Structure 1
């Protein structure tokens, strides 16, 4: 329990210390006009109250990741706490703050366009395709996930396909309508459900007879059933993504960069939401470790239920909060992915609009861009959910790595302290390259070869970036 509580405290302190430091590294300008005012169209560019922007950003990024990912990460044991805390502060908050503020500084541009400014047109083209594919994956994952949860709650009377179609209709509307018409009105309600879920579980963990394992040397071992098949490095760092660092966040930040009233709000909107998500992930990881007795029982129970995190989340809420509290908490579980899925499609629309320089004031133009996205997403719902999730997890962290390299290039071009992003960029590159070499959905290499291969790839990427950044190829903008 002490380690769990200290982890929450460290996250909060990190926001008020390291978060302020990141803000000083960037150097905010309170007098600069934000895109919300400069390019106001009352569709995507529209100034919103800071509390509402915070809530929308939090719900955008807090999908299934800090719930499902934290439950899966808890199977490794208390080492999950360590990654959530260190990852959120030194990687996730850095990634989210700078990616959001770079979008603000570049008229609300999508992340693929920002990447192109600092890493060149070739990388921009690659990232355009990569980001669109990732967002369609996200939309599909956050379409199937909540549909299955709702279907389970309704005793499977309607069927998953019915709920998929219903959620798809909502996604279509939220993608086309002005941001303050549907998203801006529904998100505060969904936010209440999320807060009830998190606070409810936290209170039960505090007052209940639960023994959360401590962060000790003996407990920092790999507690999964097959440590050789699921080594902590790199698997844990991909399993817990949204609760520590997630490239998906960078695709969402431009939505709020177009609604921010002042640069001074960036720390709370971007870093603050990441730290809040880290707290949510900590709560779910702790709940998963104790709900089934201990970490060993968690692993055995998950294995008996095909590692179904949705099932585990439902069991945790019902057993720890009771029927009434459990229903409210499950509503939070449903709201979380839905409020990421809708903005995933909206982000995809904006990226395509940026690429084709297409004005978005007319509904018909938004319709033409959006319709193919939903057709593809619906087709992907027929693919095994587990396969989509695994590829999403790796591509998500790969995008985070690219964004961190972009941030580093920006800081170098401005003569600022670039180590804040360089270190996590190198680390996440090692994570992603090692994972794709070791994972079943990748090359399935023996661990030792994957580690050496990951180190080689990371060294090459670092060397290539150094040549680009310090040999005159990087243009100051």
Structure 2
């Protein structure tokens, strides 16, 4: 219990300490107009309040990651707590903050645009295709996953096909309508339910004295479970996730002022880390250790763990509400995944989105592809998701590093976690069955060589970019004229 409570406390302290350090290094300009005003279009660009933006951001980035990932990570034991806390404070929250703030400085640009500006035009095309593919996979899985949970919750009295159809209709409306019409209205309610359910599980564990294991030297490295790199890809959204880099620009277009950035981007990642800690602790404490947890995962999957933990801690009614809170997570990430894909494609082909027909021209093909993908077995495709997700995080952190390097600011806050995650993703793809299947010792050597080479390439490009004096932010005067 002490390890769990200390982790929660450290996350909160991290927000008020390291979060302020990161904010100071970046250097907010409160007097600078944001895209919400300079590019206001009544659809994607419009000012919204900080509480609303914060809850939308939390639900955008959460998905099922901060619950399902930590539940799987709980198989490694209490060492998972360390990665959630350290990863969240020094990697994930920095990743989200820099992505959001750099986007604000560049007309609400998405990651492909930012990669093109700071890492080169070739990277723009690569990241654009990569991001759209990732978002389509996420959006499609976030149709089927909540549909299955709802089907089970209702004991099958509504056909699964009807549930999937209803979710698709909601996604289409959320993708097409102005952000304040659906997302801006229902997300605060959904966010409250998510927070209440997580707090309920946490309080239930504390009150009942759930046997949450403590971190010791004996369980620091579980048998037959190599921590590096697997743990750092298994627990993604609760520590760091590249999916967040596709979501933060949605809110960078509705943020009123740069001073709000730490609360919205850094703060909501800390909140996600707390949720991840709660569910990792629940998975560790309620199912007779890794053996019992593994058996439940094999028989019923992560959804069974969520349902069982919620019922044990909160009873039948409270447990049902908690499961609903979990169901909300994929739904509220699926809709913004489609919305992000629409916006990224629109930016890429420079297709204005103020008219609804323009939005339809992009959205309908995306939904057609997604509907077709629901007919395919995702088990093979989804094995690549963790690697693709964390690779996107690496790209976003290197974009942040380049921005800070050009600005002659402390770029190490982004480059160190970026380099660490680069090493983790390269080791994984070299060793994993879905990759090159090399022995682990060879994978370590190969990943080290690749990482060193890419970091050297980064520094060469960064020095060149600084000499070229690449503008870090777009001229807001030109924004106003174009608007």
TM-score (norm: length of structure 2): 0.95
What residue number does 2:271 align with?
A: 276
CA distance in 2, matches of 1:279, 1:448: 34
Choose which of 281, 286, 291 in structure 1 pairs with 2:281.
286
Following superposition, the deviation at residue 189 of structure 1 comes to: 1.3
CA distance in 2, matches of 1:302, 1:365: 44
**Please, what is the CA RMSD of the aligned residues?**
1.3
Following superposition, the deviation at residue 299 of structure 1 comes to: 2.2
Choose which of 345, 353, 371 in structure 2 pairs with 1:352.
345
CA distance in 2, matches of 1:67, 1:415: 38
What residue number does 2:141 align with?
A: 141
1:302 aligns with 2:297: yes
Following superposition, the deviation at residue 302 of structure 1 comes to: 2.1
1:330 aligns with 2:285: no
- CA gap of 1:154–1:18, structure 2 versus 1, over 3 A, is same
Following superposition, the deviation at residue 461 of structure 1 comes to: 1.1
Following superposition, the deviation at residue 431 of structure 1 comes to: 0.9
Contact map agreement 1:78 1:219 (CA 8 A) in 2: yes
Q: Which runs of 5+ in 2 are unaligned?
A: 472-483
Deviating more after overlay: 311-320 vs 343-352: 311-320
Q: Which runs of 5+ in 1 are unaligned?
A: none
CA distance in 2, matches of 1:125, 1:427: 25
Choose which of 313, 326, 349 in structure 1 pairs with 2:306.
313
Contact map agreement 1:144 1:385 (CA 8 A) in 2: no
Following superposition, the deviation at residue 183 of structure 1 comes to: 0.5
What residue number does 2:435 align with?
A: 442
Contact map agreement 2:406 2:465 (CA 8 A) in 1: no
In the TM superposition, 1:38-437 aligns within 5 A as 38-222=38-222, 226-227=224-225, 231-305=226-300, 308-437=301-430
Following superposition, the deviation at residue 388 of structure 1 comes to: 3.8
Deviating more after overlay: 203-212 vs 447-456: 447-456
CA distance in 2, matches of 1:257, 1:433: 31
Counterpart secondary structure, 1:245 = coil
Deviating more after overlay: 153-162 vs 69-78: 153-162
Following superposition, the deviation at residue 474 of structure 1 comes to: 6.7
Following superposition, the deviation at residue 116 of structure 1 comes to: 0.8
What residue number does 2:476 align with?
A: none
Contact map agreement 1:409 1:474 (CA 8 A) in 2: no
Give the length in aligned residue pairs: 470
CA distance in 1, matches of 2:129, 2:319: 40
CA distance in 1, matches of 2:253, 2:124: 21
Contact map agreement 1:98 1:407 (CA 8 A) in 2: yes
User: Which string of whole-angstrom CA distances, capped at 9 and with x for unpartnered residues, describes residues 221-260 of structure 1?
Assistant: 125xx53xxx211111011100000011111111100000
CA distance in 2, matches of 1:14, 1:386: 37
